[in-house]
Amino acid sequence: MAQQLRLMAVHAHPDDESSKGAATLARYVDEGVEVLVVSCTGGERGDILNPRLQGNADIERDMAEVRRKEMAAAAEALGVQHRWLGFVDSGLPEGDPLPPLPDGCFALEPLETASAPLVKLVRQFRPHVMTTYDENGGYPHPDHIMCHKVSMEAFEAAGDPTRYPGPDEPWQPQKLYYDRGFSTKKMLTFHEALLARGLESPFADWMKRREEWAEKMGPEPEITTQVNVGAWFERRDKALLAHATQIDPDGWFFSIPLEMQRELWPTEDYQLARSHVQTTLPEDDLFAGIREEES
């Protein structure tokens, strides 16, 4: 049964799949589910965030190729399949006022142009479940917001033979989830636990930024689904570290001991945004309701 199930995780950049829901992907792979990660862009405009690699001229000269190799290593660590949509990273505009986005970038593509290759991929891979970001992108990055738009368009359109006509048979995914891996409650739980144990917490600045984003993003979203993945945290971290230009091995991702993570928050969290099957909330399985229909 599990071997017939398919999960597609749609992300904006290489490394997003490893920082958002990676342990979930690894768990389902081990359970026999076919898992496909889709990267909308190549991450070409990403900065080198690992202090150990900053100033490396070889990396700076060909960031696109470096990130392709990193993504391949992360996919191998998780055991997932991977596809590129082929769009160009928009970069994260900074300043006041914000500068315009670069011509030809993903966030400026017309919706139908950006969605067409994902619709095609949905029809070919035929996922039962898709995961992506909410309308705010999880955080206000233009590529994350565009990733949400194309994911929703593909979810709604792939099953309609009159939309995006082509040679592939229509396919309607059954459920779509928003990633909720960085909830304020989760970060606050870790923050307080670290301080209580006399350890330094990296989350004070994070929560301050979250408060600033909240002005634009509104109230804390609902978590409907928590998948227990504590046993797969090592695989998640291996995939994260594969993105060497983007992940500081001494950074906050690795500041919480794995034992503490498993004790305090052993799940990865999601919000059910669309469903064509009956399910009961809260859930502990992205395929809840689908397994019952398939059996």
Distance CA(84)–CA(75), nearest Å, equals 12
- pLDDT at site 214: 67
pLDDT at 1 over 70: no
For residue 248, say whether it is annotated as part of any ligand binding site.
Answer: no
**Residue entry with tokens 């470096």:** 66
Residue 90: partners with Cβ closer than 8 Å, 6 or more residues away = 41, 45, 101, 102, 105, 106, 107, 108, 141, 142, 143, 146
Question: What is the Cα–Cα distance from 277 to 233, expressed in whole angstroms?
Answer: 30
- Residue 217 scores a pLDDT above 70: no
pLDDT for 271-283, tens place per residue? 999 999 999 999 9
Q: What is the mean pLDDT of residues 214-236?
A: 89
Residue range 260-267: mean pLDDT, rounded? 97
Judge residue 68's burial from the number of C-beta atoms within 10 Å of its C-beta, 0-12 exposed, 13-18 middle, 19 or more buried.
middle
Pair 145, 136: CB distance under 8 Å: yes
Instruction: Round to whole Å and give the CA distance between 106 and 67.
Output: 17
- Entry field: residues in the chain: 295
- Give the count of beta carbons closer than 10 Å to the beta carbon of residue 156: 16
276 is in an annotated binding site: no
Domain annotation for the chain: domains and CATH numbers: 2-183+222-294 (3.40.50.10320), 184-220 (no CATH)
- Of the chain, the percentage scoring pLDDT greater than 90 comes to 80
When mean pLDDT is compared across 1-5, 55-59, 118-122, the lowest value belongs to 1-5
Is the pLDDT assigned to residue 2 strictly greater than 50? no
pLDDT tens for each residue of 45-97: 999 999 999 999 888 889 999 999 999 999 999 999 999 999 999 999 888 78
Q: Strand 175-179 relative to strand 129-132: parallel, antiparallel, unpaired?
A: parallel
For residue 206, the model assigns a pLDDT of 75
Closest CA to 241 of 9, 32, 53, 11: 53
The answer to the question of whether 13 is labelled as a binding residue is yes
Is the pLDDT at 293 greater than 80? The verdict is no
List the single range of 18-22, 81-85, 101-105, 219-223 with lowest mean pLDDT. 219-223
What is the model's pTM? Answer: 0.94
Gap between the Cα atoms of 36 and 129, Å rounded: 11
**Do 34 and 171 contact (CB within 8 A), yes or no?**
no
pLDDT 10s digits, 143-178: 999 999 999 999 999 999 999 999 999 999 999 999
Using CA atoms, how far apart are residues 142 and 145, in angstroms rounded to an integer?
5
> ∠166-169-172 over CA atoms, to 5°?
115
Which residues have CB under 8 Å from 109's CB, separation 6+? 87, 146
